[in-house]
Amino acid sequence: MENKWEYDYSNLYNQNQNQPPEASQPQGYQDPGAVPPPVTDPQPPRKRGRAGRFLRRVVALVLVAAIGFGGGYAGALLALKQNPQRVVYQGTASGTTVANLDADTLDLTTVSAMVTPSVVAITTEEVVTSNYGFWFGGEYVQSGAGSGVIMTSDGYIITNQHVVEGASNITVTLNDDTEYTATLVGSDSVNDIAVIKIEAEGLTPAVMGDSDTLVVGQSVIAVGNPMGVLGGTVTNGIISALNRDVTVNNQKMSLIQTNAAISPGNSGGGLFDANGQLIGIVNAKSSGTNTEGLGFAIPINTALSVATDLIDNGHVTGRPALGITVIDVQDSQTAAQYGLSSPGVYIYEVNEGSGAQAAGLQPGDRIIAVENVLVETKEQVSEEVRNHNVGDTIQLQIAREGQIITVSVTLGESQG
């Protein structure tokens, strides 16, 4: 039975009339040029084992989701003893300090009162241009909603990349209902983390925990903005599993699994332990009608490392990149619609000044293999590239003009 995972929830909050229907074609795709029928490689690249492919396909069912928390926590106690040491970020991003606070395990009402001032509601607006049917060339405003967690007292906020992706306007609402217009500091699609900034002082930053010390069965609470209108909602549960390898928005991630109630609109919200320490940023949930209590969060150690890099550098440093944009064409019918000979991973754009450009890669090239490993999706391409370092030279096998050729590409540093 196929699992289904909630992904695009933004339409739940669309406040505009005359919104066009969802297009079935890959959005933003333009035919970069037909590729002639592929030529059989006399020595085809090796495939991953069947077990590896099966696992990839299973985890690929997990997509980015709004994470939420249904209401209701009625005074139950969080009894689990935790590391009494807590670290809170204070001051500005450029001169962050930490303070150690001792605390015993607290009851649910106390923890909730501690952490809710650190969680914000986020609403976004994106101007969308439609190229579909009656709406060809038209524009409309699409609204979205999510959550965020305050990192510093002067207004740096961590959230999910998919919450603010493409947004032309970002509004942050604090726990006391004060609203601010936010600016995007930086975002990272690989880890689904973004940092935004509001001009404010005296905010309550979250107390940062240590996700490397978590254990299964540990009590947690989640705080966020379910359905985009219920900011400050608290739910409780436990850590159901650790180091879950799932694929979120075409990116493989290692996540915390929790049974705390999750609902659309809580993406970017906080997962806290029994001492009120932030241990994760919620980012995915199950949308299957026959499943319950399957929510996921990005470990705070990962999230905080990425967020710090975004603040300091505007992007995550040290990450290798080919310097291309690729798209998936998943079936023969879609390929035929765009004049392509077969499904596969196609180069849509080559970045100027990149290693890909220097190697002679072109829009319309179909990527067959990376380092002699067969690839069938853009996520697999990214996975193989991530196994190398900036400055490494790797081999790509591509289909072009009826031939399969090998191209050597020197990896640069990703700027996004």
**DSSP classification of residue 51:** H
Query: pLDDT at position 40, please?
Result: 36
Q: Is residue 301 part of a domain?
A: yes
Q: What percent of the chain has pLDDT over 90?
A: 51
Q: Which two tokens stand for residue 387?
A: 């196994």
> What are the tens digits of pLDDT across the range 227-265?
778 888 899 999 999 999 987 777 789 999 999 998 888
The residue out of 313, 337, 370 marking a domain boundary is 313
Quick one: pLDDT band at residue 94, thresholds 50, 70, 90? very low
CA distance 187 to 166: 11
Strands 320-321 and 233-248: unpaired
CA distance 222 to 261: 8
Select from 199, 192, 211 the least CA-distant residue to 67: 192
Comparison of pLDDT for 138 and 189, the residue scoring more: 189
Same domain as 354, residue 235? no
Same domain as 358, residue 306? no
Same domain as 388, residue 262? no
Rg (CA), the chain: 22
The residue out of 259, 281, 313 marking a domain boundary is 313
Same domain as 198, residue 182? yes
Query: pLDDT at position 60, please?
Result: 36
Q: Is residue 16 part of a domain?
A: no
> What are the tens digits of pLDDT across the range 35-52?
433 333 434 444 444 444
Nearest 5°: CA angle at 13, between 20 and 267?
120
Amino acid (one-letter) located at 196: I
Q: Which two tokens stand for residue 94?
A: 């450029």
Q: Tell me the pTM.
A: 0.69
Select from 59, 81, 115, 110 the least CA-distant residue to 217: 81
Comparison of pLDDT for 95 and 383, the residue scoring more: 383
b/e burial code for range 151-164 (CB count within 10 A of at least 16 → b): bbbbbbbbbbbbbb
DSSP 267-316: TT-EEEETTSEEEEEEEEEB--TT--S-EEEEEHHHHHHHHHHHHHHSS-
Q: Is residue 218 part of a domain?
A: yes
Quick one: pLDDT band at residue 98, thresholds 50, 70, 90? very low
Catalytic residues: 162, 192, 267
Domain with 385 in it: what CATH number? Answer: 2.30.42.10
Nearest 5°: CA angle at 252, between 169 and 409?
95
Longest dimension (CA), the chain: 68
> What are the tens digits of pLDDT across the range 129-148?
765 544 455 677 888 899 99
Q: Is residue 30 part of a domain?
A: no
CA distance 257 to 305: 20
Average pLDDT across the chain, whole number: 77
Same domain as 247, residue 118? yes
Same domain as 403, residue 257? no
Domain with 151 in it: what CATH number? Answer: 2.40.10.120
Q: Is residue 29 part of a domain?
A: no
The residue out of 291, 313, 335 marking a domain boundary is 313
Same domain as 251, residue 359? no
Question: How many domains does the structure of the chain reveal?
Answer: 2
Q: Is residue 14 part of a domain?
A: no
User: What is the phi-psi region of residue 75: left when phi exceeds 0, alpha when psi lies from -120 to 50, beta otherwise?
Assistant: left
Same domain as 346, residue 265? no
Select from 275, 135, 163, 159 the least CA-distant residue to 218: 275
Query: pLDDT at position 131, please?
Result: 57
Q: Which two tokens stand for residue 4?
A: 């289904």
| Distance spanning both ends of the chain, measured CA to CA | 36
CB 119, CB 167: distance < 8 Å: no
Is 327 a residue whose pLDDT tops 50?
Answer: yes
Amino acid (one-letter) located at 81: K
CA distance 285 to 298: 12
b/e burial code for range 241-277 (CB count within 10 A of at least 16 → b): ebebebbbbbbbbebbbbbbbbbbbbbbbbbbbbbbb
Q: Which domain holds residue 213?
A: 85-313
